[in-house]
Amino acid sequence: MSETVRLAVTGAAGRMGREVLLAAADRDDVDVVLAANRTPVEEIAGVPVRPVAELDDLFAETTPDVLVDFTGPESSADYVSACADAGVAAVVGTTGFGDDGLATLDSAAESVPVLKAANFSRGVAALRRAVREAVAALPGYDIEVTETHHNGKRDAPSGTANTVLEDIEAVRGDAERVHGRVGDQPREDGEIGVHARRAGDVTGEHEVLVAGNHELLSLTHRAGARGVFAAGALDAAVWVAGRDAGRYDFDDVLDER
Ligand code: NAD
């Protein structure tokens, strides 16, 4: 693998795609060879943005090492399939996949490396570790997970909240998610309350509340700007380039850096 990783970016004109292009312009370990978007835009951070329609042809022309994708689950699955056909590694930040989309990523990962993470922030990786420890140390305590995002976010709960919930469930086998509460709905033992708030331009907040025995522990992560996710995604792209085919997670990157 060459020292500079040749990068393709899909969803280039989206909130995250723009951040990835801006962050890439400040680094010397990546070189953006392709930025593509569904709808036409001129250029971002000095990189021309091309229509994404013929991604196979664009891959053949620009020969990227890694695709960084922040789009939607359907397009993302299509793009990762194109990566498998073209021998391009994939870094997937898109959230909200259903079982079919995840199966597509698994099958692509048989021929190329596919690194998917619902959150590319190091702080969230630390939050997840802290949550696993807290839940293990506080058996029987009530747990509530609340996430807040900007009003344009489509999937709920957030991919990050789902990941944190899976972490909790791995410790608490008998946990059951309860999404919001309305009317006569007293809390049952073993519930995990899940709350999704959508307002304004909030980049992303996640709080895990663990309470019982006259005490309350609140673990909160607040992302101040999308640049934090872009930096993590680019670290992941550099890490995954040239790896063996297979599924990887952002934790794999952090464990080695
Ligand atoms: P956005 O709406 O601002 O941008 C989405 C981009 O994807 C746009 O360019 C849009 O044209 C494109 N797109 C969407 N659906 C498409 C389709 N069917 N075909 C082709 N292009 C399509 O969204 P965003 O805030 O940039 O978020 C994008 C994704 O990244 C979401 O799933 C979000 O949850 C996720 N996200 C992940 C992280 C992380 O750290 N992993 C951080 C922030 C956002």
pLDDT tens sequence across 63-104: 999 999 999 999 999 999 999 999 999 999 999 999 999 999
Kindly report, residue by residue over 9-58, the tens digit of the pLDDT. Answer: 999 999 999 999 999 999 999 999 999 999 989 899 999 999 998 899 99
**148: three-class secondary structure by DSSP:** strand
Which residues, at least 6 apart from 127, have a Cβ–Cβ distance to it below 8 Å?
164, 206, 208, 219, 221
**Which residue has the CA at smallest separation from atom 8 of ligand 1?**
14
Residue of 9, 10, 16, 104 to mutate, ligand 1, most atoms within 8 A of C-beta: 16
Residue 229's pLDDT is what?
Answer: 97
Residue 174's pLDDT is what?
Answer: 85
Please give the Cα distance from 159 to 105 (Å, whole number). Answer: 16
What single-letter amino acid sits at 70? F
> Helices (DSSP H) in 33-72: which residue ranges?
55-62
Please give the Cα distance from 240 to 42 (Å, whole number). Answer: 29
pLDDT band at 257 (very low <50, low <70, confident <90, very high): low
Please give the Cα distance from 132 to 85 (Å, whole number). Answer: 38
Mean pLDDT, rounded, for 174-185:
95
pLDDT band at 1 (very low <50, low <70, confident <90, very high): low
Alpha-carbon 106 to chain mean position: 16
Task: Tell whether the model's pLDDT for residue 2 goes beyond 60.
Answer: no
- Burial bucket for residue 38 (CB in 10 Å: 0-12, 13-18, 19+): middle
* φ, ψ for residue 49, nearest 5 deg: -105, 125
Residue of 71, 80, 202, 250 to mutate, ligand 1, most atoms within 8 A of C-beta: 71
Q: Global pTM? A: 0.92
Please give the Cα distance from 208 to 198 (Å, whole number). Answer: 17
Mean pLDDT, rounded, for 102-130:
97
| DSSP secondary structure letter of residue 138 | S
- Burial bucket for residue 28 (CB in 10 Å: 0-12, 13-18, 19+): exposed
Residues with CB under 6 A from ligand 1: 11, 13-17, 37-39, 70-72, 74-75, 93-96, 117-120, 159, 229
Tell me the pLDDT of the chain averaged across its residues.
96
Q: Is 150 a catalytic residue?
A: no
Residue 40's pLDDT is what?
Answer: 84
Mean pLDDT, rounded, for 212-219:
98
Query: Taking the alpha carbons of 219, 225, 229, 231 in that order, is the dihedral positive or negative?
Result: negative
